[in-house]
Structure 1
């Protein structure tokens, strides 16, 4: 029984990073300029980071950063709203 549990834990630990690498590889493939040429350096890093997205908690708090009128907040008001949503981290 212990051998089965160990084998399954090893299999799952190897499978999870593979999915993350597959997402990153797909994002790297999408990192192209407006002319269709591949990006390099900081531009590529920024594009991949944007494609991978931010943490789910961040995106939820950003979506909640709206004014009383329902318009999105900007600048210091947005930052304050996000900090309040995250619990003042």
Structure 2
């Protein structure tokens, strides 16, 4: 009985390692593809826009394209327009008209 218990424990351990090895992907198999990150998407877009550019011209374009900041949000526009209205000391209907114009036409 004393020899049976360690033998069963060793067998159980061996089976658990075998099961784990069977669940692991093969060494040559690739992992399932994940969704591209924002940076990877940006790189793909910039690469397509670079087109046939070569050498230093391509490097400069890619650097500029990848470092370009994201477009301003509506909240950023609102802050900017508010600051402009305050600088111009607009009030009442003048301020409303200015804000409407500023928020609708100001480029993002």
- When normalised by structure 1's length, the TM-score is 0.35
Which of these two proteins has the greater Rg computed from alpha carbons? 2
